[in-house]
Amino acid sequence: MSIGMSVEHIGADPHGDRGGPAQPLLTVRKLVKHFDLKKSFVETMMGGGKVVRAVDGVDFNVLKGETLGVVGESGCGKSTTARLLMHLIEPSAGEIVFDGETVGSPALPLREYRRQVQMVFQDSYSSLNPRLTIQDSIAFGPQVHGVGKRESMTRARDLLARVGLEPSRFAERYPHELSGGQRQRVNIARALASEPRLVILDEAVSALDKSVEAQVLNLLMDLKDEFGLTYVFISHDLHVVRYISDRVMVMYLGKVAETGPAEALFEHPLHPYTRALLSSMPSMDPDRRTEEAPLAGDPPNPIDPPPGCRFHTRCPLAEAICAEQTPTLAATGTRETACLIHEPGSRHTQTGAAIYAS
Amino acid sequence: MNEASQISATPIVSVRDLHVTFTGAKRPVQAVNGVDLSVRQGESIALIGESGSGKSVTLRSLLRLHPERKTRIEGRIDIAGHDVLALGNRALADYRGRVASMIFQEPLLALDPVYTVGAQIVESIRRHESISAADARQRALELFERVRIPSPARRLDAYPHEMSGGMRQRAMIALALACKPQVLLADEPTTALDATVQIQILLLLRELQRELGLAIVFVTHDMGAAVEVADRIAVMYAGRIVEEGSTREVIRNPRHPYTLALMQARADGAMTKGARLASIPGAPPDLAQLPVGCAFAERCVYAADACLKTRPDAVELGDNHRARCLRTDATAGVLGTRAEALTKVAALTESS
Amino acid sequence: MNTTMSLPAKAPDLPLQPRSAGFWTGVLRKLMRDPVAIGAGIVLLILVLMAIFAPLLTPHDPYQASMLKRLKPIGFEGYVLGTDELGRDMLSRLMVGARLSLFMGITPVLIAFVIGSGIGILAGYAGGLVNTLIMRTIDVLYAFPSVLLAIALSGALGAGIGNALLSLTIVFIPPIARVAESVTTQVRGRDYVEAARASGAGAVTIVRVHVLGNVLGPIFVYATSLIAVSMILASGLSFLGLGVRPPEPEWGLMLNTLRTAIYTQPLVAALPGAMIFITSISFNLLSDSLRSAMDVKA
């Protein structure tokens, strides 16, 4: 088998880098997605009805070659953001710019964008067609983009080998014959088949057992180096995000709470929510167990998010002003945070106080 | 903390040589292969393992929740003086909920959607005790306060779907405690919850254990959750407990290669960025075709020839720490030295 | 640091078998292990063979009446199953009758399967307004009891085999379309369809590659179960004089004409009914087995 030789053409990127390494690969501006709740007849007539503010004005960049970790609790909008990035659902407002070109514009039609951006889903079983052999599943994407049947099959087998599944054993098997970890490897191979530049991993390792998770994380790191990929890694597991990410974005109720380089953010979180989230992690030290829960209650419902700062209902540092004034996501150096404490001129009494000074 | 003082000497849960085989499939599946377990009053133990390790099957056996026709259970289970495997239908119904009760991963599936949570608790109390509906409701209210549900009187009249995830889990704990059981069985109770809610539930379980003197058997795949709750940890693999000991011992000084590998495969523990994670090669064995020798031998870096031929017995490592492994000599101090090194590094960076 | 543990993940033990059996091969293999499926299959095979070779097999002329031999009992002088009210050989008529009865049972369902699946898959995959329009229209038809609808349509179109087939087809389109729509809606929400959309595939390609294979099976199973209903309805139409006309042998029609003999020769009169029963229950059992055989995870 000539794996090495044929993998080369997968790595080669015919649609080369346009804006140079300094230009972000992906820029998201004011992205909004509101879902209509099922309306009653009267509400339809009156034009009322409630909306779920799943993603409510999100701005961020994904730099070339980095791994951006996205963390947050249920209802924070991280999975909706992933689907918006893939254009699986239409944004209510906002703009996605890929390497300098607006997605959906004549310069970058959706179909071309989708070749360059791929996604790996959480549920390894439901993301593979049970009636297709795994090599057919992997070859489907390239075939859609006009790669011949023979060539796409060769590519599928090469990729299978690359993700650690021997093609002679696995290529013509069906998804139900594989274990969860093996299926997730197939999903990764499928995502790589159309030679993407950006891969969105939506809880891609969350359903796997710990020992298998480590195998898949290692694989993801290797593939990133080999194919020069950029990752958006969405997960609720803070350990994994810290391990794999270069930068981390923390979301809360459809908004960005904080972004920053992984180590800095984990060592010195700026936003009170990030702090609470980090100290909610079980300690792993039997002599220093957590004595008090950092936050009470559950995250509020995104149907009726609190006014002002969305976190003020649970925030230990909240003041009256937090219910009125919505903080803006402001940058200081490499870090950004949306908290009145860090906003010069806001009426929060602790503004400017070096409360997180280490 | 001195939980030890509250833990009595005689076990309240005693499992001896438990074997559970599911006979429904084409080939019998040996889900549990000789589990011994004892839990004392007021003690909490965590069963840790991956999917298919038999941890949930063991737990469900304690309430005999498996379908009788398709399951063969052998061995002996004694809980608070009840020979569980010998109980008749009436006695079993009386035993469930009153002596031992269970909380599940997904309360939305375990709670009845058409009744209010309060009604379900009242019904459960009155099934086991002859008290008036008003008294039962008063008890339900106290239980809701006990599990720290805010505005409990109003929440008693809520339907399960009207509650948030964390609140539902609290309500299910209240339901499980309705008939004052001595043993609480918890099947991945925090897996489906958000991080900030998970820690609240873990702390609640710890508090209940301490204040009500409950014995808790806690099944989880998350080492961190186990450390927060458990006094002791039992690590399961392919239907057997491969290592058991105090939480401190198992975490700091794991001696079974599987536990050791699990600790090393964790993505935390001050990993250098970019360093490869230590992963366990291969996959767990097929429970319908277990190997003759140690079930972990195929994936084990310490495996010797003998490991493939005999199923290892438990080796006493002192201080109630046991591991079923022939190579415990090789695993001594492997993690310890590394952990020590890391604390030293951490201390250095902190002081600088 | 701990190089010992970071062995490359080797592919775990999957027997070296170049190609897994295809989906339908697997279904067939499971069916062959199911005694109920085999039993029902054999019965249906015999019925079909009997229908095909009826002209060669009949011991007597099925149309040959004889006033002397009317309503003879089972086993009478070379008439194994007796004779009907005009003295014709019951066995021969039942054998020849299988042709029309099976034809009337299978054809409308087959046509409705093609049309109904098309409508249902379109509605299910398009979703939104298209779905609402199609499915509400279907619901109007579905609101009528199938027996009444079949009779009303046949009555309006006039008696005859062609019209009976047409009305039965119309009766079966709504239920099949509904099943197709609900299965398609389910499949459309699966991650692999999302993944296919994410790789830039168009709707037609996605339906062809990812939807059809996963929805046709369940719809087919449902359609098989309708064959029994169709046979009974067709018999009912013939019974009412709206389908096949005498002297053509057809089980429903035979049941009708023999009903006067229910007191004189009850066993003979019950024979066409028994044939309908055996056939429809065989189809039902086979469709049940097919359903469980197609369950991939089992």
Instruction: Give per-residue pLDDT as tens, A20-32.
Output: 777 899 999 999 9
Residue C15 confidence class, pLDDT cut points 50, 70, 90: very low
pLDDT at C237: 85
A210, A276, A296 ranked by CB distance to B265: nearest: A210
Q: How many cross-chain Cβ pairs, A to C, lie less than 8 Å apart?
A: 101
Neighbours of chain C (3+ CB pairs under 8 A): A, B
Interatomic CA distance for residues C89 and B263, integer angstroms: 83
Dihedral-angle region of residue B88 (phi above 0 means left; psi in -120 to 50 means alpha; beta otherwise) = beta
Yes or no, beta carbons of C190 and A141 under 8 Å apart: no
Indicate whether B342 and B259 sit together in one domain.
yes
Pairing mode of beta strands B322-324, B314-316: antiparallel
DSSP designation for A64: T
Q: Is residue C141 part of a domain?
A: yes
Yes or no, beta carbons of B282 and C10 under 8 Å apart: yes
- Residues of chain C with C-beta less than 8 angstroms from the C-beta of B276: 6
Region A341-353 average pLDDT? 74
pLDDT of residue B248 exceeding 80, the answer is yes
- pTM for this predicted structure: 0.82
Whether residue A29 lies within 8 A of chain C, CB to CB, comes out as no
Yes or no, beta carbons of B196 and A283 under 8 Å apart: no
pLDDT of residue B6 exceeding 60, the answer is no
pLDDT at B39: 93
HSE-up of residue B272 (Cα within 13 Å, Cβ side): 7
B275, B277, B301 ranked by CB distance to C4: nearest: B301
C1, C2, C10 ranked by CB distance to B281: nearest: C10
Instruction: Give per-residue pLDDT as tens, C22-35.
Output: 677 778 888 888 88
Interatomic CA distance for residues C137 and C134, integer angstroms: 5
More confident residue, B191 or A69: A69
**How many domains does the structure of chain C reveal?**
1
A73, A212, A290 ranked by CB distance to B194: nearest: A73
Nearest to C89 by CA among C81, C98, C77, C97: C81
Nearest to A337 by CA among A319, A300, A358, A311: A311
Whether residue A298 lies within 8 A of chain B, CB to CB, comes out as yes
Q: How many CB atoms lie within 10 A of CB C64?
A: 12
Q: Quote the percentage of chain A above a pLDDT of 90.
A: 43
DSSP designation for A286: T
Q: Which residues of C touch B (CB under 8 A)?
A: 1-2, 4-10, 12
pLDDT at B244: 94
Q: Is residue B42 part of a domain?
A: no
Measure A210 CA to nearest chain B CA, in Å. Answer: 7
pLDDT of residue A45 exceeding 70, the answer is no
Quote the domain boundaries for residue B338. 253-269+277-351
pLDDT at B273: 64
Q: Is residue C5 part of a domain?
A: no
Yes or no, beta carbons of B252 and A294 under 8 Å apart: no
Whether residue A344 lies within 8 A of chain B, CB to CB, comes out as no
Instruction: Give per-residue pLDDT as tens, B316-332.
Output: 888 889 999 988 888 87
State the CATH number of the domain containing residue C200: 1.10.3720.10
Lookup: tokens for B154: 């109003």
Quote the domain boundaries for residue C97. 90-293
Q: How many CB atoms lie within 10 A of CB C298?
A: 9
Q: Is residue B305 part of a domain?
A: yes
Neighbours of chain B (3+ CB pairs under 8 A): A, C
The single residue listed with the structure tokens 């450390």 is B227
**Nearest residue in chain A measured CA to CA from C17:** A169
- The per-residue pLDDT of chain B, averaged, comes to 85
B51, B203, B276 ranked by CB distance to A293: nearest: B203
Whether residue B270 lies within 8 A of chain C, CB to CB, comes out as no
**What φ, ψ does residue B333 adopt, rounded to 5°?**
70, 5
Measure C121 CA to nearest chain A CA, in Å. Answer: 17
pLDDT at C22: 66
B222, B248, B277 ranked by CB distance to A286: nearest: B248
The single residue listed with the structure tokens 């792993």 is A284
Dihedral-angle region of residue A253 (phi above 0 means left; psi in -120 to 50 means alpha; beta otherwise) = left
Q: What is the ipTM of this complex?
A: 0.82
pLDDT of residue A62 exceeding 80, the answer is yes
Q: Is residue C127 part of a domain?
A: yes
pLDDT of residue C213 exceeding 90, the answer is no
Q: Is residue C21 part of a domain?
A: no
Interatomic CA distance for residues A285 and B261, integer angstroms: 18
**Nearest residue in chain A measured CA to CA from B285:** A179
More confident residue, A205 or C68: A205
**How many domains does the structure of chain B reveal?**
2
Residue B9 confidence class, pLDDT cut points 50, 70, 90: low
Instruction: Give per-residue pLDDT as tens, B210-242.
Output: 999 999 999 998 888 999 999 999 999 999 999
Yes or no, beta carbons of B224 and A284 under 8 Å apart: yes
Nearest to C296 by CA among C12, C21, C10: C21
Yes or no, beta carbons of A277 and B271 under 8 Å apart: no
**Most confident of the ranges A287-291, A346-350, B57-61, C239-243:** B57-61
